[in-house]
Amino acid sequence: MLSAKSKKLFIALITILMTTLFFGCGNEDQQAKQPQKAQVKAMKVIQRDTPLTSEFAGQILAANEVKVQSKVTGNVVEKYVVGGQFVSEGQPLYKIDSRNYESAVLKAQADLAQSEATLNNAKIDLYRDQKLLEDAAIAEQVVTTQAAQVRAYEAQFKANEALLQTAIDNLEDTMIYSPMSGQLSVDDVAVGTFVSAGQTNLVTIGSSNPIYAQFSVSEAEYLKFLNVQALKSEQMTIDVTLTLADGTEYPFVGRIVESDRELANNTGSLTIKALFPNPSGLLLPGMFARVKLSGDTRPNSILVPQRAVQQLLGKSFVMVVGKDGKSETRTVELDDKVGSYYIIKSGITPQDTVIVEGLTNLQEGVDLAVTEVTAGEMGFTLSEVTSAYNADSATPSAGSPSANSSPNQNSNNAKAQ
């Protein structure tokens, strides 16, 4: 049997335990009933003057490139250059074995001298016959025949003159000179190589300043941005810049100088060439680069990251942070893409804050726990390959990492009520 004191202590412990269990369960119920806030990242809408730009994959090509071939056949006996060397127009490159061509010149000279002597003798005979005809000592037919013979010898003399000139030209062509100033390739042939006239490539030479950047644009880009007549118009200015493979910007601005007359059948694209100065020889034929075209500027454009845009049933939506801290759906009208952004025609204002991360399964009217981010933190850029931008000023910030691709704006399904 428990004492009275023990009973009181036991009852007190039971009371405390029941009270704890009661209030504890009440708190858990309250916590379960309290809605959880959705964790999202959001950024302010950017408004700024936005240049319309388009970027394309391009390749560097020599403005002028020539495959040097010999006009005569023979073995290479002298080589005056090495592969990769810069040469000037008229500089000696190779010498072909000239012995046969020297002999051909001597023979042609002898044939010419013989035909000249024959012609002179025929002229003397014609002069004599003409005098005899005046004295009626010979028939007129004899003079006529001799005159025809003189004309034949004159034709033979002119033919031999032409043969001599050809032999001289062939002899001169055994020395091969550079047709232009530029840099040699390393495909040059060695001394002793037998070359065939007009068939064997001795070396390739190309000019490096100026130099071409060739790229292709789609039909849609052509219709939106490039109209060929506008490209050829002096009143329209389109700046062409290059971003090299290591991400650096080429310091010189180019200009469009050539465009194809039709779209390629297999790709549906238009080939265009832009000409760039290359005084230091930094650009080499065969290099790849990103070609950026900059045209008109859209004043006070409203920019929203492509990642923030959701599309459903042909309509586009963005989620914004409402005044009450809840998610709010806005239907927007999209314009051109600029780097990581869309230009928005209508649907939001510069004062809005758009949600850029945490959109999966997010519905309208949900309480939000918002983390403010900047464009630089998210890797958003106004250029597809250049440095990141600061969200406050929307200007490039030095040393920011580059974003090589834009987020997929269709990765989330819109859920609008």
HEC profile for the chain? CCCHHHHHHHHHHHHHHHHHHHHHHHHHHHHHHCCCCEEEEEEECEEEEEEEEEEEEEEEEECCEEEEECCCCEEEEEECCCCCCEECCCCEEEEECCHHHHHHHHHHHHHHHHHHHHHHHHHHHHHHHHHHHHCCCCCHHHHHHHHHHHHHHHHHHHHHHHHHHHHHHHHHCCEEECCCCEEECCCCCCCCCEECCCCCEEEEEECCCCEEEEEEEEHHHHHHHHCHHHHCCCCCCCEEEEECCCCCECCCCEEEEEECCCCCCCCCEEEEEEEECCCCCCCCCCCEEEEEEEEEEEEEEEEEEHHHEEEECCEEEEEEECCCCEEEEEEEEEEEEECCEEEEEECCCCCCEEEEECCCCCCCCCEEEEEECCHHHHCCCCCCCCECECCCCCCECCCCCECCCCCCCCCCCCCCC
Domain ranges in the chain are 56-63+207-295, 69-97+175-205, 99-173
**Tokens 């989620």, residue located:** 319
| 56-63+207-295 fold | Elongation Factor Tu (Ef-tu); domain 3 (2.40.30)
**Same fold for the domain at 69-97+175-205 and the one at 99-173?**
no
Whole-prediction pTM: 0.55
Residue 389: its pLDDT value, please? 30
CA distance 385 to 382: 9
Kindly state which CATH superfamily the domain 99-173 is placed in: Helix hairpin bin (1.10.287.470)
pLDDT at position 233: 52
**Low-confidence spans in the chain with pLDDT less than 50:** 30-32, 228-229, 232, 385-417
How many degrees, rounded to 5, is the angle at CA 42 between CA 37 and CA 48? Answer: 160
> 154, 157, 161, 208: which is closest to 180 by C-alpha?
208
- According to CATH, what is the number of the domain 69-97+175-205? 2.40.50.100
Considering only CA atoms, which of 60, 56, 58 is closest in space to residue 281? 60
